[in-house]
Amino acid sequence: MLIDQEEAAMEERNCIGIIAEFDPFHRGHAHLIAQAKAALPGAPVVCAMSGPFTQRGEAAIVSKYARAEMALRCGADLVVELPVQWAVSSAESFAQGGVQLLHALGVTHLAFGSESGDLSALRTVAQTLDSPAFSAALRPHLQQGLPFASARQKALEGLVGQKTAACLTQPNNLLGIEYLRAIQTLAPELEALTIPRVGAAHNAPGVTEGFASASQIRQWLLAGEIETACAQMPGPAAGILRGQAPAALTYNARGILTIIRRMTPEDWRALPDCGEGLEHRLCRAAGESTTLEQFWDAVKSKRYAHARIRRLTLWAYLGLTRQERWTEGVPYVRVLGLCEGGKGVLKQAKGLGRLPVLTKPAQVKRWDERCQRQFDLDASVQMLWGMCLPEVGQALNEWAMGPVVIR
């Protein structure tokens, strides 16, 4: 009877989930966590975070362990790793991987920032994008030769009106819509909570209302303006950042150019989201370019977005192919860090049994082949991240790494 009561109490307990990169952790992230906690007092905060590389096709500015510790010292209770295949994919795949992880951990509410702050409008767009009516409306625009993003926008405007469809034109709204689509498909019981974004817009320069964007902070770090960057971060996060060397693909440009110059059209076609002649454009540009920036600029067009080209470059560098996009979904939950409040979440996750929970690398040796392949893949990717530092040091041994624990 007592066990039944404990299980019932666990089921009723709220748990907040956030999907993020924290690249690096800044005031906007702290604001999101604080607002989510205010909406659901007493609920622990679980973050599904990208590992060494990010969705924009770039090396994370500092290590995943440093970023996990930043989040934990600024309000999060548990940080788990979004495996690389989902972390460096489109917004749709990124969202699906994050929702799978949070659902496995028993999260009840997914909190995310958005420009609109209008959950009803975002949900309308999400439901429309998955409707048969949208597929029918999209087809004629694609047949006219419009790029997918433009065709999608026009089809959506015809179904929900220009005002509601405008949600899709802003980056945080777009990601939020993909979260809602993933929830519809993978975890319908998960509730959504959107927090209006404050301060500088995504990728905006400078500081607005006391908030700088992550891209601006990264620019300062790469330019050596460490204290300028730290001044726009919460104190605990800034303290962790100081002394960390910032990573970037361009620090390993020669090695990456060597890889892509050796690739054939068939090699490019083996990557996700590559085809329809893009492979020939990539091969030609690789042979003619002397920098990564020159390569990306040579390939991008109205049809092929810059972010897509960067992600393809990253998949090539990491040695990933379509085969690593497993239809079965995320194989396990890898814990990167936790504090006292995260222990209860892990206990709940183990009770739910939706995915195995990895706290010690040695555990994976007892699990199935797919779990072992995932860990080997993430360990390899971590070593390649080390090659993107200003000075190459000794490779980090993932088999020897445990989670960051804040007591």
- How far apart are alpha carbons 16 and 149 in whole angstroms? 31
Q: What is the pLDDT of residues 183-211, one digit of tens each?
A: 999 999 999 999 998 765 566 666 776 78
180 vs 12, higher pLDDT = 180
Residue 1 pLDDT > 80: no
All residues at 6 or more sequence positions from 156 whose CB lies less than 8 Å from its CB, including other chains: 125, 128, 129, 134, 137, 165, 168
The amino acid occupying position 82 is L
pLDDT (0 to 100) of residue 211: 85
Query: Helix, strand, or coil here: 21?
Result: coil
Tokens of 92: 């749709």
Residue intervals of the chain classified under CATH 3.40.50.620 are: 2-115+193-247+328-406
What local confidence, expressed as pLDDT, does residue 202 receive? 61
Protein fold of 2-115+193-247+328-406: Rossmann fold (3.40.50)
Spacing of C-alpha 318 from chain mean position: 17
> What share of the chain has pLDDT > 90, as a percent?
84
Question: Can you say how many angstroms the Cα of residue 243 is from the centroid of all Cα atoms in its chain?
Answer: 25
Q: Which two tokens stand for residue 346?
A: 């892990």
Q: pLDDT band for 148, please (50, 70, 90 cuts).
A: confident
Question: What length does the chain have?
Answer: 407
Does this model's pTM top 0.95? My answer is no
Q: For 210-214, 243-247, 328-332, 347-351, which range has the lowest pLDDT when averaged over its residues?
A: 210-214
Q: What is the pLDDT of residues 18-46, one digit of tens each?
A: 999 999 999 999 999 999 999 999 999 99
The share of the chain scoring above pLDDT 70, in percent, equals: 95
Predicted confidence at residue 140, as pLDDT, reads: 94
pLDDT of residue 7: 41
| CA angle centred on 381, ends 377 and 382, rounded to 5° | 115
